[in-house]
Amino acid sequence: MGVFFFLGFNYFVEMNNLIDLHAGYWNLHIWPNQSFEPLLSICAKLAEHIPLIVLDCNRRYDPSIVIRAARGRVEITDRIQSQRAFICYEVAKLLQRTRTSKTPILVLDMLASFYDENVALSMRNSLLEDSILHLKRLSNGGGVAVFVQPPPAQSDPLGLFKRLQSAAPKVSTYLVEEQKSMQPGLF
């Protein structure tokens, strides 16, 4: 059983790709360094049809955006269970504690806390490996979609982003369409 949802926003290129929440594997979505508001609107759209678990790894889940996208319909927002993690240790623990079920899971901005320089590089790498194992386990339920942003410059010394990317069965990349400035000349 799979859940397919088509995306369509005017300001992204290639956004008509599919978020494929298919039992048995997980997908990695490389989201641009922009707002997560469109993604939260997608959460509301998905919750119109199915229950959903959102694991928020970097304070990206804003219930007010989801409520607005659901047009205030409480029965939709009640179908979304959200949990938060603030540091990479908590991300790994959150994935470990989450039970495998038929409910699809969205993981928001998973790698953000793994770039914390206060945590030893070897520990971040170990936590990521554990997290990847749990993503595989969780995907046996209702499917998992993991959203990450490209790493900030000089902040991926261990190749954490590349490691997660290589572990994912499917990777989708979304690009921001460049906006052309049409500033009128002075003369």
Rg (CA), the chain: 17
- Residue-wise DSSP of 132-187: HHHHHHHHTTT-EEEEEPPPPTT--TT-HHHHHHHH-SEEEE-EEPPPPP-PPP--
Cα 166 from Cα 73, distance rounded (Å)? 39
What does the pLDDT read at residue 6? 40
Q: Look at residues 106, 171, 99 and name the one whose alpha carbon lies nearest to residue 138.
A: 99
What does the pLDDT read at residue 26? 92
Looking at CATH, the fold of the domain delimited by 2-176 is given as Rossmann fold (3.40.50)
| pTM for this entry | 0.82
pLDDT tens track, the chain, 187 positions: 334 344 444 333 333 335 778 888 899 999 876 678 888 888 888 898 889 999 999 888 888 888 898 998 999 899 999 999 999 999 999 999 999 999 999 999 999 999 888 999 899 999 999 999 999 999 998 899 999 988 877 766 678 999 999 999 999 887 655 444 455 555 5
What does the pLDDT read at residue 186? 54
Where do the domains of the chain lie?
Answer: 2-176
Q: How many CB atoms lie within 10 A of CB 12?
A: 18
What does the pLDDT read at residue 176? 53
Question: Which residues make Cβ contacts (< 8 Å) with residue 75, sequence separation at least 6?
Answer: none
- Residue-wise DSSP of 59-108: S---HHHHHHHTTT-HHHHTTEEEEE--SHHHHHHHHHHSPP-SS-EEEE
**Segment 15-29, tens digit of pLDDT:** 333 577 888 889 999
